[in-house]
Structure 1
Amino acid sequence: MAFPTGGDRDSLAPVLIKANPQNKTLHFTGNKITLSFDEYIELQDLQNNLVVSPWPLKTPIINSNLKTISIRLRDSLKPNTTYSIQFGNAVKDNNEGNVYHNLLYVFSTGDHIDSLTLAGQVTVAETGATDSTLLVLLYKDLDDSAVIKSKPDYIARLDNRGGFLFQYLPAGKYNVFALKDGDGGKTYNSKSELFAFLNEPVTISPNSSPVQLFASSIEKEKRGGPSATGITRKNKPTALVYRTSIEANRQDILSDLTLVFSTPLTQIDSNKIILSDTLFMPIPFTLKTDSTAKIVSLHTRWQPDKPYLLLIPAHVFKDSLGFTNEKADTIRFSTKREEDYAAVELRFQNLDLSLHPVLQFIVSDTVFYSAPVTSNKWKNKQFLPGTYGLRILYDANENGVWDTGNYNTKTQPERVIPLPDDLKLRANWDNERDILVP
């Protein structure tokens, strides 16, 4: 005997069957709005979905009950103004969770509904990616300090592709910004917030063109300290602890050998450290300490598939706590072979060489390697095998690295364009690809 299944799963979103006052009401004077649906509904994540335009000083009180949403306006309404209440994806049915996408209620305190729009795109300049958590802000006040001192007149949220659309706008001039609003204040008040601006106001009219904004932050958010993999050297708990970049007893011939310490160093007696071959013939090298004083890089011209010795006498390193490496250490390793590396040839189409392009190889959202591109063909005969994302940086000041924007000087950030598809490089192989730059 077959048991009843209960019917097909409900996959339909709720339907708005009535609004009181009706949608797009003119000469609106009240402070209460009721929206009725054809089924039981509930609100989810209203704080991150709701957008009221013009942006109010006091957020409306919005509640759901059974098949109804009630809205109570707490601000005095401006005369002859079109208002919109956008719910984003906050409304869903109570049973299956089907979402009513982009529910919108509009009214006017005047005798007409403003109908102008402004569309655009926001891109994170450093990566070329999108961040849908950014807000787009419109200001009628064209003073440069308005975005710092006061809240915007209109707000739009980004879709998952970085696009935005302002609707029901009045004509006029506006400053346009994008902001990752970490503290919810709707103002630009932190150098670590992603922020974008247009150098000139836009004029909103029936012929308004879409705008493009590039977001960047002046300062990076603080992250954890350095890390490394490889051999760990530990003398005792009160002595120095360090790790090397050597993996599987093999040193990359394209990179420096690094020693990473757990505490900052205050002293290095580099004249006593010896790099040699297995016959103890010294090999010239240089040492360099990074800005944290925790990473020491040893640079030399590595020969492929060759054994080396790194001799570290006792007491050559001293840290900020006064501890030293109390025992001598001999690190034996070999360099990788030529056949451990990949040959790469990339052929570009639609690459604007006049913008000083720099090719970036990306690992875990970090630039692993970069090089200027001076023609439509780029080659490298020795590259570390692996899977890489690719980007093109248009390096305006030709310093080889990406530079952020600066609102005070109206300097836009440098642009980065992500290239489609990861590049998988095989060792001992000629890896070639044709790339159409977007």
Structure 2
Amino acid sequence: MKSLQLIYGLFVILLFSQCAKQSSPMGGPRDEDPPVQLEANPADQSLNIKPSEIIITFDEYIKLDNPNKNIIITPRLNKDEIITTALKDRVIIELNQELEDNTTYVFNFQNSIQDLSEGNPAENLKLVFSTGDFIDSLKVKGKINNYWPNQQYDARNVIIGLYLENDTTDLFTAAPYYLTRADSLGEFQIENIKEGSYKAYAWLDANNSTKAEFKSEPYDFLKDTLEINKNLEGIQFNLSQSDLTDFRLTRSSFTNGSYDFILNKNQVEENIQVQGLGEEIYYSTEDKRIRLFSTQSISDSLLVNLKLIDSVSNQIDTTIWAKFPETERRPEKLSLTANSGKNFTDTLFASLKFNKPVLNIRTDSLFIPVDSTTTIQIKEQMFSFKDSLKRTELLFRIPIPDTLGIEIFTLTAMDSTFRDIQGEYNEDPIRANYRKIKKETLADLLSGTVAGAEPPFIIQLIDAKNEVYKEQLVKNSKDFIFRGIEAGTYKIRVIEDKNGNGRWDPSNFYQERLAERVFYFLDDTGAIGAIILKSGWTNEGIIIQASKSTGILE
């Protein structure tokens, strides 16, 4: 009897515990209706209040989806102090901080509140109240653009932030005073702004920190202060990435036959001055490292003037005494790579890259085999070093007669063809294949003009692999022409090379310099256009409209 009573008691406890547990109902039709707000405390549009907590009641049980990210609160509050919980049909937000006087607060819940059963988000849920006598009503609207769309990201993770003009923080150091997120089309709107002067920024908040990471997250900024005394529209941001890390020489030393300069990031320009450069002294550049080589050991130290520039125009300008002592260590092996797999018509363009400066080349073991008895011997006039101070990249220009009945040509360098500055030879032969194609298989011409920007431009044809197929620098014209193009599908990219240095320059926030504009040929829908070229085709009259510059559009 006691056993039956014990079993019955356990059954009752289990039954009541299941009834009390918040869970999705079983069975029945699928719930497709979003939760509907029944009541809010404080009520929307309330005045002269400073609540310590916010309670919103719905018509069904609800749950929260990442409230720390998805609930946007303006002006800025310390989110670390806020506690947000879902309890049955209510959301409770404990603020745990003092609110500012005469300030309009906006809680935009986006998709953070969902019904418990199917995850349908509450629609257009926003709570606005003021600690003063009126609700601020100014707003700004605009759009974001991505200069490098191959580096894809969700526009909904982009924050647009306003900071008070006298605020000592910025997008890299603290969350903004007002913020919003862009929608899937890149459009944004910040509402209920207090009249005043603000600094405006946009950035990809990939790690959900509500501030930008200057090394890894694309960003943009308005150079001029926004005077918000009326509604503003047409604000344009163009996001791109730039590494603003300080540029440093971390160490320098003699290592295994070379004097090495180790950097914390790569340079885009280098100017090296040292006695004997290009005669007894040569150098190579690698990832975050510059290596000086000498043809012989030197008993005295050599004075080296090193001037380096990184991608955001930070500079290193230093003088170092370099040493080249005798060493018994075995030098590292000479290695090389070729740009094999390229197509050509009548002239074979090839390149070989070496890990160290090359001093001697045996042309008798450098050739292209045609058949078992015939070769094309590569002569000295057919190649040259790209940079005579480095001697680490060899460029070939080899004329190929049409009378040869083969399609694949193999640039061949036997072992011991190349001798580097440390006396090492290539130990293995290298064979790089290139395919000869007929001129009649090429598209004849692709031409057009750039509108809405001034030269110089870097015009790039981008192939189906998203690689630069051809590139030209247009200095004094808005027109461009490409000839002899392999059949295929291409995009056209334009870099507005304002300083004429032949490369794209990213922004530098600390120098108040915006990134150079990057834009594309667009189709009728506004998407990046695909240009299909076939043999013998001519495509003329293409107009590439420049994208909108960062700022407030008129």
Using the TM superposition, give the Cα deviation of residue 140 of structure 1 relative to its aligned residue in structure 2, in angstroms: 0.9
- 3-state SS in 2 of match to 1:47: helix
1:298 aligned to 395, 404, 408, which one? 395
Residue aligning to 2:440: 339
Supply the distance in 2 between the matched residues of 1:215 and 1:116 (Cα, whole angstroms): 25
- 1:329 to 1:197, Cα distance in 2 relative to 1, 3 A: closer
Q: Do structure 1's residue 257 and structure 2's residue 359 form an aligned pair?
A: no
Mean CA deviation greater in 58-67 or 426-435 = 426-435
- 1:54 to 1:311, Cα distance in 2 relative to 1, 3 A: same
Q: Do structure 1's residue 79 and structure 2's residue 187 form an aligned pair?
A: no
- Would you say the 8 A contact 1:194–1:216 is kept in 2? yes
Residue aligning to 1:134: 158
Residue aligning to 1:3: none
Residue aligning to 1:230: none
Using the TM superposition, give the Cα deviation of residue 197 of structure 1 relative to its aligned residue in structure 2, in angstroms: 1.4
Residue aligning to 1:116: 138
Q: Do structure 1's residue 410 and structure 2's residue 512 form an aligned pair?
A: yes
Using the TM superposition, give the Cα deviation of residue 173 of structure 1 relative to its aligned residue in structure 2, in angstroms: 0.4
Using the TM superposition, give the Cα deviation of residue 299 of structure 1 relative to its aligned residue in structure 2, in angstroms: 3.0
Residue aligning to 1:232: none
- Aligned amino acid, residue 282 of structure 1: I
Supply the distance in 1 between the matched residues of 2:388 and 2:39 (Cα, whole angstroms): 66
List gaps (5 residues or longer) in structure 1: 1-5, 227-237
- Aligned amino acid, residue 32 of structure 1: E
- Would you say the 8 A contact 2:358–2:421 is kept in 1? no
- Aligned amino acid, residue 271 of structure 1: I
Mean CA deviation greater in 312-321 or 427-436 = 312-321
- 1:302 to 1:21, Cα distance in 2 relative to 1, 3 A: farther
- Would you say the 8 A contact 1:130–1:160 is kept in 2? no
* Higher relative contact order (Cα pairs below 8 Å, separated by 6+ residues): 1
Residue aligning to 1:423: 531
- Aligned amino acid, residue 532 of structure 2: K
CA offsets per residue over residues 246-284 of structure 1, 9 Å max, x none? 33x955778842446xxx722435522534575444341
The residue correspondences of 1:1-400 to structure 2 (distance < 5 A) are 10-59=31-80, 60-126=82-148, 132=155, 133-142=157-166, 146-181=170-205, 184-188=208-212, 190-219=214-243, 244-247=338-341, 256-259=349-352, 265-273=355-363, 274-275=366-367, 278-283=374-379, 284-288=382-386, 296-300=393-397, 302-303=399-400, 310-316=411-417, 325-329=426-430, 334-348=435-449, 351-352=451-452, 354-363=454-463, 364-372=465-473, 378-400=480-502
CA offsets per residue over residues 18-75 of structure 1, 9 Å max, x none? 2122112212222221222233332223333221111112342112233322211122
Supply the distance in 1 between the matched residues of 2:124 and 2:242 (Cα, whole angstroms): 33
- Would you say the 8 A contact 1:122–1:130 is kept in 2? no
- 1:336 to 1:193, Cα distance in 2 relative to 1, 3 A: same
Supply the distance in 1 between the matched residues of 2:423 and 2:159 (Cα, whole angstroms): 50
Supply the distance in 1 between the matched residues of 2:422 and 2:58 (Cα, whole angstroms): 68
- 3-state SS in 2 of match to 1:408: helix
- Aligned amino acid, residue 257 of structure 1: A
Supply the distance in 1 between the matched residues of 2:41 and 2:494 (Cα, whole angstroms): 53
CA offsets per residue over residues 387-422 of structure 1, 9 Å max, x none? 222233222223333211122222111112232221
CA offsets per residue over residues 113-161 of structure 1, 9 Å max, x none? 1111111222234559885222112111436764454442112111122
- Would you say the 8 A contact 1:358–1:372 is kept in 2? yes
- Would you say the 8 A contact 1:362–1:390 is kept in 2? yes
- 1:94 to 1:145, Cα distance in 2 relative to 1, 3 A: closer
Supply the distance in 2 between the matched residues of 1:291 and 1:13 (Cα, whole angstroms): 69
CA offsets per residue over residues 170-200 of structure 1, 9 Å max, x none? 1000011122345555445534432211111
- Aligned amino acid, residue 246 of structure 1: S
Q: TM-score, normalised by structure 1?
A: 0.79
Mean CA deviation greater in 389-398 or 83-92 = 389-398
- Would you say the 8 A contact 2:347–2:400 is kept in 1? no
CA offsets per residue over residues 196-236 of structure 1, 9 Å max, x none? 1111110112243432222333329999x99xxxxxxxxxx
- Would you say the 8 A contact 1:314–1:325 is kept in 2? yes
Mean CA deviation greater in 178-187 or 204-213 = 178-187
- Would you say the 8 A contact 1:173–1:204 is kept in 2? yes
Supply the distance in 1 between the matched residues of 2:75 and 2:231 (Cα, whole angstroms): 22
- 1:86 to 1:353, Cα distance in 2 relative to 1, 3 A: closer
- Would you say the 8 A contact 2:240–2:506 is kept in 1? yes
Using the TM superposition, give the Cα deviation of residue 9 of structure 1 relative to its aligned residue in structure 2, in angstroms: 5.2
CA offsets per residue over residues 281-336 of structure 1, 9 Å max, x none? 4341124489999x845331554756655342323457999985324456575533
1:437 aligned to 531, 535, 545, which one? 545
Q: Give % identity.
A: 27
Mean CA deviation greater in 326-335 or 283-292 = 283-292
- Would you say the 8 A contact 1:126–1:414 is kept in 2? no
Supply the distance in 1 between the matched residues of 2:434 and 2:203 (Cα, whole angstroms): 50
- 1:150 to 1:185, Cα distance in 2 relative to 1, 3 A: same
